[in-house]
Amino acid sequence: MTREEFIGIYRSIVPEHAYREVNGVGIYTIPAFSAFPGIDHGFSARTGGVSTGCFSSLNLSFTRPEQRENVMENYRIFCAAANIPVDSMVMDAYEHGTTVLCVDRNDNRRGYDRPALPPCDGLVTDDPEVTLITGHADCMAFYFYDPVRKCIGLCHAGWRGALDRIGSEVIHTMQTACGSDPKDIECGVGPSICPKCFEVGDDVAELFEIAFPVCTLLGVNRRGRATVDLWQVAAAQFLECGVRPEHIHLSGVCTFEDTRLYSHRRDKGKTGGMAAYLRLLDHTDC
Ligand SMILES: [Zn+2]
């Protein structure tokens, strides 16, 4: 893939999202993913929960300095609004790495009210009794769905994970564990810090430029500082793996700019966290 080819493909991807509120709980979705009858997915906003102060109000991060019971109650509220069985949740234990774990119903509630999984930023399953959950507060959520092999993947992709190609790791795991062909895999990117808001030091900018030479991912903001387009980084690693251009879907929502979302950077670390979720729907019992 040349630089010109990549930019042509990237420009053809039109970001699209939907937003709804159920009992005051906000949920973002990617319309292309909503159109698949075999899955349910979404991304939480910060509205409708019980947390107060800088965590107000639907903090879904257990790693923040907040009472665990508040976060557990927020998950109960969110699951009711999003129609997720609480018992089906399996949560990542992110460390900004590239470890991807395959999980099934034996892992249900891990990270919620059962011991957390070993450190991992990505999860893969073909079990319809599992809802994959990952935590975010500017970092990208990558959603993966293979409608042929009926398996899914979800990962937390901060800048380090994105740089180290956590997205490729999830696709490789789906290939080896589920027999997926990358040509069948649909990829989505949830709400996350946008190309214009993600300011970095020159050292980080250089790392991205070296790792993703096909992208035109560097910019300069109004303060004269370098910016990195992480959404290009996402698309580039999906394409490298053999994902079809028309199977790449960006939400285009910026956590830094949208005040319905927590943003680690905007709120200078004093903030809550959102959750991405993805599950297979079992139509055999319909
Ligand atoms: Zn932005």
Tens of pLDDT along 158-178? 999 999 999 999 999 999 999
Res. 59: pLDDT tops 70: yes
Distance 229 CA to ligand 1 centre (A): 10
- Report the residue count for the chain: 286
DSSP 261: S
CA angle 246, 247, 248 (to 5 degrees): 95
Tell me, what's the pLDDT at 286?
44
Distance 254 CA to ligand 1 centre (A): 5
Tell me, what's the pLDDT at 282?
83
Res. 85: pLDDT tops 50: yes
Q: Give the span between the Cα atoms of 5 and 10, in whole angstroms.
A: 9
Q: Residue 96: name the closest of 143, 163, 145 by CA.
A: 163
Residue 18 gets the label, from left (phi > 0), alpha (psi -120 to 50) or beta, of beta
Each residue of 108-134: pLDDT tens digit? Answer: 999 999 999 999 999 999 999 999 999
Distance 29 CA to ligand 1 centre (A): 18
Distance 159 CA to ligand 1 centre (A): 15
- pLDDT band with cut points at 50, 70 and 90 for residue 187: very high
Each residue of 104-115: pLDDT tens digit? Answer: 999 999 999 999
Distance 198 CA to ligand 1 centre (A): 7
Distance 161 CA to ligand 1 centre (A): 20
Each residue of 212-250: pLDDT tens digit? Answer: 999 999 999 999 999 999 999 999 999 999 999 999 999
Q: What's the Cα-to-Cα distance from 20 to each of 23, 154, 214, 256, rounded to whole Å?
A: 10, 21, 36, 19
| CATH number given to 13-194+231-279 | 3.60.140.10
Distance 262 CA to ligand 1 centre (A): 13
Distance 144 CA to ligand 1 centre (A): 24
Distance 255 CA to ligand 1 centre (A): 7
Domain boundaries, the chain: 13-194+231-279
